[in-house]
Structures are given as C-alpha cells and as structure tokens.
C-alpha cells in the first residue's frame, strides 16, 4: 500500500509519567507526543494524545521551544482520561480549525472497578469543548491515511489480536444499560513509514503492542518494525506475556523500544536485560530522532 515515506521524523515527548533525572520538564500521568515530520518538502506537526492535563504539556513545549500553534493534526489513541484530559486546554491554545482523529467510541463512559469504582473516561463535554475551539472530529473504526507515510491503525478487535495479548481488561463500561467488560476496542494506534523503517506508536496499547505492530506491518505491507513507542500496558502482565512480547519484538526486527507510562517496571527491566541498548526509557522532554 505505502511506498510513500516521510523524509524525516523527530518526536518530542511532551508528557510522560517520568520527568527524567535532574529535569526541568514536568511529569504527569499519561503520554503526549509531538511528531515533527518533513513530508514532500513540507514540515508537518502531529500531536498524538494529550495526557491528563494541558498545563504541563504547555510548560514542556516552552522548554522545547516548540509552538502549539504549529500543530496540523491531532490523533487521540483512546478514551482514557490520561490521554484525553489535556485536549480541551490544548484546543483552547490552538484555537483554529483542526482535524482530530479518533475512534467513534472515544466519548464512552468507562471505569475501573478494582479495588473500587473509579471513573477513567474522558472529561465531561469533551466533544463540545473541543468543537468550540475549532476541533473537527474524524471518528473512524477503519485506518485513516493522514499524509504520505502517516496513517492510523483503526480498531484492532480480538480476532486480530495475538492470543496471549487477549487478557481480561479489568475495565468496565456500560452498554445498553448493562455493565460489560471494556475490550478497549477504541484504541487506534499511529504508524509512520520512514526511510529507516516502520515506526508504531501506541497510547496504552490496550489491544497489545505486538498486535498493533502486526496490524501496522500489514497495512504498510512490510515485514519489519523499526521502532515501537508509547505505553504498552504490561503493568499487570505475567512473566509469560512479557517474555512473549520480547520474543515477538525480536521476530519482527524491532531496533528501538521507547517506552514508559503503563509499561511497568517488570517489563521495562526485562526489555533492558533481554534487548540491551534497544530499550530506551521515555521521559518528559525527551527528543527522539528516528529518520
Ligand atoms: Fe494510559
Ligand atoms: Fe488506557
């Protein structure tokens, strides 16, 4: 499908649960990445996720000498507050017509019940608050082609997931007046095809980072992934799932793993131990040059 590639890709980490050692950047719960790309001679900026709050993102942008007004597109990975929470505040700053790519279930009410009830969905009135400042929602279950070499993955249902990535989610939603397990089908990832290879970005990667990487490979018609970036939600994963993830990264040729957020210390230690310098711990303010 895609013989088109971006000419360059630099990622600024605007939000992360870890600020880094001796850092002036602010940490917060969630992720937010600013992708700066050179595409067919034009510079384009894409904002992926907005963490829980806009203020630390704006603070970090200032330290990075980047301007939120430059953002051309926004992609929101899924409905959780630690990815959608900063969006109204960010849109207030952007204050211009801009396309926001997400899944049709982005506004759903979801909650965690372990050990007690806790709302983890998007801020109240997200749809309206964002539209008020110029946001245009592009809600699709299907992958969307945003620019040459840049596309969302669309939803990844259980049938497309690796068996060992189909664990119970511990997240609940209300559907037709009934409490049901939230399979978090609303998580869409983002992929960028560069001269070095395919880059796959997840928010929490709830469908499984390997299932997401494989979907991206299928869409881009390539047999390798150059880099995976984001939270991989392995924080409660057992040893077997972590081991399977490491083996799959080897199999699909992953050369760089940039992770943090909900990946968890056990998985991070295993990545470091098994994959050495390919593992990079994400932190707020980090600049990642990928092509
Ligand atoms: Fe998250
Ligand atoms: Fe999440």
Which ligand lies nearest to the CA atom of residue 262 in the structure? 1
Residues with CB under 5 A from ligand 1 (ion): 82, 204, 262
Domain membership flag for residue 153: yes
Q: What percent of the chain has pLDDT over 90?
A: 94
Q: Give distance in angstroms: CA of 205 to centre of ligand 2.
A: 7
Which ligand lies nearest to the CA atom of residue 184 in the structure? 2
Structure tokens of 120? 């983890």
Q: Give distance in angstroms: CA of 40 to centre of ligand 1.
A: 33
Arithmetic mean of pLDDT, 204-212: 98
Question: What pLDDT does 2 receive?
Answer: 61
Q: Which residue has the higher pLDDT, 273 or 174?
A: 273
Question: What pLDDT does 114 receive?
Answer: 83
Q: Give distance in angstroms: CA of 136 to centre of ligand 2.
A: 23
Least confident of 1-10, 25-34, 50-59: 1-10
Which ligand lies nearest to the CA atom of residue 28 in the structure? 1
Domain membership flag for residue 183: yes
Which ligand lies nearest to the CA atom of residue 261 in the structure? 1
Domain membership flag for residue 1: no
CATH code of the domain containing 87: 3.60.15.10
Structure tokens of 285? 């303010």
Which ligand lies nearest to the CA atom of residue 186 in the structure? 2
Q: Give distance in angstroms: CA of 68 to centre of ligand 1.
A: 22
Domain membership flag for residue 2: no
Q: Using one digit for the tens of pLDDT, what is the confidence trace for 113-139?
A: 888 999 999 999 999 999 999 999 999
pLDDT band at 44 (very low <50, low <70, confident <90, very high): very high
**In whole angstroms, what is the distance from residue 207 CA to residue 192 CA?**
19
Bridge partner list, 139: 102
User: Into how many domains does the chain fold?
Assistant: 1
Q: What is the residue range of 210's domain?
A: 8-289
- Tokens 């056990």 belong to residue: 266
Q: Give distance in angstroms: CA of 118 to centre of ligand 2.
A: 13
Q: Give distance in angstroms: CA of 52 to centre of ligand 1.
A: 9
Tell me which residue of 214, 171, 180, 177 sits closest to 80, measured CA to CA.
171
Give the CA-trace dihedral at 5, 156, 186, 193, to 10 degrees: -10
Q: Give distance in angstroms: CA of 30 to centre of ligand 2.
A: 8
DSSP 211-270: HHHHHHHHHHT-S--SEEEEE---TT--HHHHHHHHHHHHHTT--EEEEETTS-HHHHHH
Q: Give distance in angstroms: CA of 120 to centre of ligand 1.
A: 10
Q: Give distance in angstroms: CA of 78 to centre of ligand 1.
A: 9
Please state the pTM of the whole predicted model.
Answer: 0.98
Asked if residues 260 and 288 have their Cβ atoms less than 8 Å apart, the reply is no
Q: Using one digit for the tens of pLDDT, what is the confidence trace for 148-162?
A: 999 999 999 999 999
CA 125 to chain centre: 22
Domain membership flag for residue 185: yes
- Tokens 């939603």 belong to residue: 173
Which ligand lies nearest to the CA atom of residue 50 in the structure? 1
Is a pLDDT exceeding 80 seen at residue 227?
Answer: yes
Q: Give distance in angstroms: CA of 248 to centre of ligand 2.
A: 22
Structure tokens of 97? 């017509």
Asked if residues 152 and 140 have their Cβ atoms less than 8 Å apart, the reply is yes
- Tokens 């007004």 belong to residue: 69
């Amino acid at each position: 499908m895609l013989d088109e590639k971006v000419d360059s890709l630099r990622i600024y980490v605007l939000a992360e649960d870890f600020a880094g050692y001796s850092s002036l950047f602010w940490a917060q719960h969630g992720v937010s990445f600013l992708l700066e790309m050179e595409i067919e001679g034009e510079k384009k900026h894409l904002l992926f996720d907005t963490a829980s709050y806009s203020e630390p993102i704006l603070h970090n942008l200032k330290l990075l000498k980047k301007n939120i007004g430059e953002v051309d597109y926004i992609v929101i990975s899924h409905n959780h507050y630690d990815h959608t929470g900063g969006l109204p505040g960010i849109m207030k700053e952007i204050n211009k017509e801009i396309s926001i790519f997400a899944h049709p279930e982005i506004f759903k009410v979801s909650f965690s019940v372990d050990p007690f009830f806790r709302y983890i969905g998007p801020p109240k009135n997200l749809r309206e608050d964002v539209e008020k400042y110029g946001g245009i929602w592009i809600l699709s279950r299907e992958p969307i082609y945003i620019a040459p070499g840049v596309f969302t993955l669309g939803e990844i249902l259980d049938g497309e997931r690796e068996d060992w990535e189909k664990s119970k989610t511990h997240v609940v939603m209300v559907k037709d007046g009934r409490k049901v397990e939230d399979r978090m089908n609303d998580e869409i990832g983002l992929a960028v095809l560069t001269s070095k290879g395919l880059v796959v970005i997840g928010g929490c990667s709830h469908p499984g980072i390997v299932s997401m990487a494989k979907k991206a490979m299928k869409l881009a018609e390539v047999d390798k992934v150059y880099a995976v970036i984001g939270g991989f939600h392995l924080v409660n994963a057992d040893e077997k799932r972590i081991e399977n993830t490491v083996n799959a990264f080897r199999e699909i040729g992953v050369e760089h793993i940039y992770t943090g957020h909900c990946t968890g210390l056990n998985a991070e230690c295993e990545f470091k131990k098994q994959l050495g310098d390919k593992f990079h711990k994400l932190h707020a303010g980090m600049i990642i040059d990928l092509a």
